[in-house]
Structure 1
Amino acid sequence: MDDLVITLAGLAVGCVVGMTGMGGGALMTPILVLFFGIPPLAAVSSDLVVSAVMKPVGAGVHLRRGTVHRSLVGWLCLGSVPAAFGGVLIARALGDGEGVQEVIKLALGAALLLAAAGMVVKAAMSGRRPTSATPLTVRPLPTVLVGVLGGIVVGMTSVGSGSLIIIALLLLYPALKANDLVGTDLVQAVPLVVSAAVAHLIFGDFQLDLTLALLLGALPGVYLGAQLSSRMPAGLVRRALVLVLLMSALKLLGAGNVLLVAAMGATIVLGTVIPALLRRRRIDEAERPEPREPAVSGV
């Protein structure tokens, strides 16, 4: 019975990933920890192996379409691949048993808070990012550092291969086209997640039966979510995802029920009011008449 419920959870998370392109690690791991009582390190290990199977599907689509900035992928992987492997070693070096599980749980909660905040920032900036026809100038050192930080977080928590790194790319390269942004992030995430998954297979707490149950639901879920993505309001899905990430993060960090209810209410209110204000502002800017050139009197 537990395997069937875990498979259904994998199906639900796969649908979210297919619809939004993010949320896999940020949803799967806390679901396993909070609802199924899976130890955090085992949840991270199994989730990363599942992601290593799912990620190449979307990455292959973007490679065929040419919506990938290959130079950015190279610099990101230079930092993220060894850092992801190192993140697993850091988690193991912190201790065994309950000590390391508690550290992973707290790190996961912090990463989920960052992921939720990053999704809000992305939504706020997506409507006002400039587009540019000039070639993108790659900044190697900052890009490698983004890869290093993202790799460590992914190696320790399984969160960040999509939600955190894509926000960093958006801030670092605001002129990057939306399709190229998503494609680049998906392709760089493949070696990153594979590196972390291999490290967890060697040093983590990988459970084959748990991983197979998740894959059984996640793979058809991704396909179904991709089919639904054109039919459901993306904004509604993003708001629900932010709410789930925030609640999961607070629960993992030990928040009480009163704080959870207050945070849920505030998130729902802000998630309704702020988008309405942003839409109103864009409408006002679109309707504002352009300034006229001063008339030049003849001589």
Structure 2
Amino acid sequence: MDLKVTIGGWVVGFLVGITGMGGGLIMTPLMIFVFGVSPSIAVGTDLVYSSITKLFGAMQHWRQQTIRFSIVKLLALGSVPGALLGVSILDALRRVFSANDFQHIISDGLGITYLGLTGWMVWNMVRKRNAENDVSIRAAYARDPGRQKRHTVLLGFVGGMLVGLTSVGSGTVFMAALLVMYPLPAAQLVGTDILQAVIVTGTAGLAHAAIGNVNIHMVLQLLLGSIPGILMGSRISKKIPDAAIRFCILMLLMGTSMQMLGVL
């Protein structure tokens, strides 16, 4: 057993439990750059590992009653078909390009995705300083609940497709959008996001396993650390401010995108 893989699983699980985000952002590049896994296998392995890890986190949030199931249902209506579409696109690319070109395409795609998510996170940090815009958006949704539901399903579809293609986005994209769309306590947003992530990553992970993009041995080693990590993080999610953790994820994300694109 490789101890560093298990330790890496614990760190990522702990961060996901606290913030509801950061799993794929950290684990996928960790597997590629530290554990030496090919990009395609890293994507599929991360999805399977993530879905099982987040299931334990969702159970903890369910016990704490910090999950909004109505929002989870709307997100799943979009995220499940979106995830399947994303994996289908990836499989089509694998059939068209050579193995080497396919890995380069995934690597470049991950780099571009990470850059986009970096910008998204920076925008979200800046946006928090101006709460008036959030209030106006929520007021518009209060006047038209149907619009809020449609946008939630659309968010699920776009986020699900991103997860199927890259294994990232199940926390970062959904959390950032949910913060704007729903005036809920942070712990409820985290719990809701983690449960919907179980659904979307599980769907995408099974699809990746079907096309041979999963290293089951590594999944088991990661779970040895991630399950206690996410349980611990979920348990204290109400007590620890996550601003510093999000900043660290942002810096890691920016550096990883540069490496993926060959800038560093």
TM class by shorter chain equals 0.7 to 0.9
1:4 aligned partner: 3
Alignment correspondent of 2:52: 53
Q: Could you list the per-position Cα deviations for residues 132-183 of structure 1 after superposition, in whole angstroms to 9, with x for gaps in the alignment?
A: 8x79824233222211111111011110111112222333x15344344323
8 Å CA contact retained: 2:60, 2:231: no
In structure 1, the residue matched to 2:156 is 147
Is the contact made by 2:51 and 2:202 (CA closer than 8 Å) also made in structure 1? Answer: yes
Partner of 2:123: 121
Whether 1:170 and 2:182 are equivalent positions in the alignment is no
Larger mean CA deviation between 70-79 and 37-46 belongs to: 70-79
User: Structure 1's 232 and 62: CA in aligned 2 closer, same or farther, altered over 3 A?
Assistant: closer
Match of 1:280 in 2: none
User: SS of the counterpart of 1:36?
Assistant: coil
Please provide the CA RMSD for this pair.
2.6
Q: CA deviation at 1:219?
A: 1.5
In our comparison, the structure showing a higher alpha carbon Rg is 1
2:230 corresponding residue in structure 1:
222
1:72 Cα offset (Å): 2.5
Deviation at 1:41, TM superposition (A): 1.0
Q: 1:231 deviation in Å?
A: 7.0
In the TM superposition, what is the alpha-carbon distance from 1:13 to its structure 2 partner? 1.7
- The question of whether the paired residues in 1 share the 8 Å contact of 2:43 and 2:167 is answered with yes
Aligned to 1:157: 166
Aligned equivalent of 2:82: 83
1:209-251 per-residue CA deviation (whole Å, 9 max, x = no partner) reads: 1111111121222234446657765322221111111111111
Look up the SS of the partner of 1:22 in the other structure.
Answer: coil
TM-score (norm 2): 0.84
Alignment gaps of 5+ in structure 1: 257-299
The residue aligned with 1:100 is 102
Q: Give the letter aligned to residue 143 of structure 1.
A: T
1:91 touches 1:100 (CA, 8 Å); kept in 2? no
Give 3-state SS (helix, strand or coil) of 1:32's partner: helix
Q: Distance in 2 between matches of 1:178 and 1:220?
A: 22
Tell me whether 94-103 or 25-34 shows the greater mean CA deviation: 94-103
1:161 to 1:236, Cα distance in 2 relative to 1, 3 A:
same
> 1:32-71 counterparts in 2 under 5 A?
32-71=31-70
Asked if 1:18 is matched to 2:17, the reply is: yes
Structure 1 residues 227 and 27, CA, compared in 2 at 3 Å: closer, same or farther? same
Aligned AA (2:34): F
Structure 1 stretch 75-84 or stretch 108-117: which is displaced more? 108-117
1:228–1:179 CA distance, 2 compared to 1 (3 A): closer
The answer to which structure, 1 or 2, has the higher relative contact order (CA under 8 A, 6+ apart) is: 2
Aligned AA for 1:115? L
Aligned identity (percent) is 40
CA distance in 1, matches of 2:242, 2:174: 20
Deviation digits for residues 59-90 of structure 1 (CA, Å, limit 9, x no counterpart):
23333444433333222211110211221111
Secondary structure of 2:170's aligned partner: coil
Number of residue pairs matched by the alignment: 253
In the alignment, is the contact (CA less than 8 A) between 1:81 and 1:151 conserved in 2?
Answer: yes
Q: Deviations over 1:73-125 (max 9, x none)?
A: 22221111021122111111112512222222122122222333333333344
Runs of 4+ with deviation above 6 angstroms: none
